[in-house]
């Protein structure tokens, strides 16, 4: 089977069920952004090396993203037989990993942080921001069509997770985080800061 079909030459693509939409359709933008996220996680995995302890969890996240993209590529009018009914408890998975990472860190932060520090931390921030862009597109899609609640919860937690992963990498490497400014609620309680 050839990779090219020539069917998309005029700016359309097929969703599950065969419906054709423009390639800038919000649904295509949404799952396309998560495809971008998945590719960046792939790059991050390469940079970490095969024996890094985060590899199994990243592998799971990549597979879960594929499942979510598959779900998002199914329009509401797609028959039930073509639906992916399997919810993934990704939010709880992320929360457990976040709690584990935070428990192992030597520093806490009450500041907004500048992304960077080292290559792994910076890549985690790239994933975080791509995830947030995908989440904004997901919200737009949710206003137009029904999307399973577990997808939004998982995506929201994934962006939180990659923020903590960036911080955990900095903590492990002994690299100081670059602080921007104190969180607003902290500034109100301590105006001297």
Rounded distance between C-alpha atoms, residue 135 and residue 129, angstroms: 10
What pLDDT, in 10s, does the model give residues 50-60?
999 999 999 99
Query: Do 90 and 158 form a contact (C-beta atoms < 8 A)?
Result: yes
Mean pLDDT of 70-91: 72
Q: Which CATH architecture has domain 12-189?
A: Up-down Bundle (1.20)
Is the pLDDT at 22 greater than 60, yes or no? no
Per-domain residue ranges for the chain?
A: 12-189
The reported pLDDT for the residue numbered 17 is 64
Q: Pick the residue with more confidence: 105 or 99?
A: 99
CA-to-CA dists, residue 35 to 48, 68, 180, 182, angstroms: 20, 10, 31, 34
């Amino acid at each position: 089977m050839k990779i090219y079909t020539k069917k998309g030459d005029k700016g359309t693509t097929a969703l599950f069920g065969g419906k054709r939409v423009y390639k800038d359709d919000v649904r295509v933008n949404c799952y396309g952004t998560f495809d971008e996220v998945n590719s960046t996680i792939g790059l991050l995995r390469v940079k970490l090396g095969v024996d890094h302890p985060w590899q199994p969890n990243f592998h799971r996240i990549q597979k879960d993203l594929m499942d979510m993209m598959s779900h998002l590529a199914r329009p509401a009018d797609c028959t039930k037989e073509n639906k992916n009914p399997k919810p993934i408890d990704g939010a709880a998975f992320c929360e457990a990993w976040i709690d584990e990472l935070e428990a192992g860190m030597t520093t806490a932060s009450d500041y907004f942080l500048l992304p960077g520090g080292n290559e792994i931390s910076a890549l985690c921030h790239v994933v975080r921001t791509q995830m947030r862009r995908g989440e904004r597109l997901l919200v737009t899609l949710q206003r137009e069509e029904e999307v399973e609640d577990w997808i939004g919860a998982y995506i929201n937690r994934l962006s939180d997770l990659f923020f903590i992963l960036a911080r955990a990498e900095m903590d492990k490497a002994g690299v100081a985080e670059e602080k921007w400014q104190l969180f607003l609620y902290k500034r109100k309680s301590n105006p001297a800061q």
